[in-house]
Amino acid sequence: MRIVLVGQGPFGEKTLDALIQKGENIVGVFCPQDKRGEAMKALAESSSIAVFQPNHMKDAAVQEAYLELKPELVVLAFVTDILPASLLDIPSIGTICYHPSLLPRHRGSSGINWAVIQGDKRTGLTILWADKGIDTGAILLQKEVDIAPDDTTGSLYFNKLFPMGIDAVVEAVELIKTGKAPKIPQDDALATYEPPCDEKHAGIDWSKMAAEVYNLIRGCDPQPGAYSTLGSEKVKFYKTELIDAASQTSPGQVISIGKGEVIVALNGGVLKVGKLKGEKGAKLDAEEFAGEADLKAGMRFGT
């Protein structure tokens, strides 16, 4: 089976490596020109696989390359560019795509962030047959994982959905080869779609309940970073823990500063913060940040 792989970053590289190790016939690799594509390019070239690095997947040269490669299957392994519908018609079997949520829930580019932000207890990944919609194609397979109370978007992805995703792509290709790959239509009545999680969504409202604030912070960790203000400076919060304890101080106020932690009052709990980052500085341990920012107990974020 002639396979074309489109991807980027560590996920694209590891997917390529896994398919090579399985002896799959990879006839072409498409990846970005910048550092996101460096590892994939190096691995493909070392394996004598043709590499293409277009500016955009909609470029006319991409369709020409597809036609020359004659792929039976195209695998999308972490693709942020939009593929034109014309490319979906070329592979004789179709195009499959990795998506880090249990579709049809959390369609869109930030499925992991929103699962955490919205307080989901479980999430997972979907390998779907790509169509002309945004994450609307038929489901080939799904895998589920728990979202632990202390999971962040980063830990959920790198510790769970990344390695599971590599295995799922390999499994999906094998199902296709053996003619056992299903095409299960999504139930659009259960679909949710959220926009990319960026700084427009990452501002902390300290008046909200403790769990909601905590979920926002860990859902934005490491990117884009949930933030508040300290005076006129924007401050981002990382490595947090929600403590079920009563507080008599107003939400957003610093209760105490100790070794490696800043304790902040919430509405219905308190927040232990392990790392903070100012607008111009690096991410620092909480105690070190407090020293540099002259942060004291009694001061309040968000004023």
- CATH number at 267 reads 3.10.25.10
The model carries a pTM of 0.96
Of the candidates 168, 190, 212, which is a domain's last residue? 190
How many domains is the chain partitioned into structurally?
2
Q: What is the pLDDT of residues 67-86, one digit of tens each?
A: 999 999 999 999 999 899 99
SS3 31: coil
Q: In the numeric block, which tokens belong to residue 222?
A: 């490491």
For the chain, give the mean pLDDT.
97
Share of the chain above pLDDT 90, in %: 97
- 191-208 per-position pLDDT tens digit: 999 999 999 999 999 999
pLDDT at 116 over 90: yes
Q: Is residue 302 part of a domain?
A: no
Pairing of strands 122-129, 139-146: antiparallel
Q: Give the CATH number, domain containing residue 170.
A: 3.40.50.170
Supply the pLDDT for residue 115: 98
If you ran DSSP here, which 8-state letter would residue 160 be given?
Answer: I
d(CA 254, CA 166): 42
Classify burial at 215, counting beta carbons within 10 Å of its beta carbon; exposed 0-12, middle 13-18, buried 19 or more.
Answer: buried
Could you tell me if 35 and 59 lie in one domain? yes
Same domain (yes/no): 112, 221: no
pLDDT at 123 over 90: yes
Q: What is the pLDDT of residues 16-67, one digit of tens each?
A: 999 999 999 999 999 999 999 999 999 999 999 999 999 999 999 999 999 9
Q: Are residues 181 and 230 in the same domain?
A: no
Instruction: Kindly state whether residue 299 falls inside one of the protein's structural domains.
Output: no
Residues 59 and 184 in one domain: yes
Q: For residue 245, what pLDDT band results from cuts at 50, 70 and 90?
A: confident
**Angle at 247 (CA atoms; ends 241, 251), nearest 5 degrees:** 75
| Average pLDDT score over residue span 98-104 | 98
CA distance 274 to 264: 11
Same domain (yes/no): 232, 281: yes
* Structural domain range at position 262: 201-293
Q: b/e map of 99-125 (b: 16 or more CB within 10 Å)?
A: bbbbbbbbbbebbbbbbbbeebeebbb
Cis peptide before 100 (omega within 30 of 0): no
Same domain, residue pair 141 and 216: no
- The band of 122, judged by pLDDT with boundaries at 50, 70 and 90, is very high
What would the two tokens of residue 113 be? Answer: 């962030």
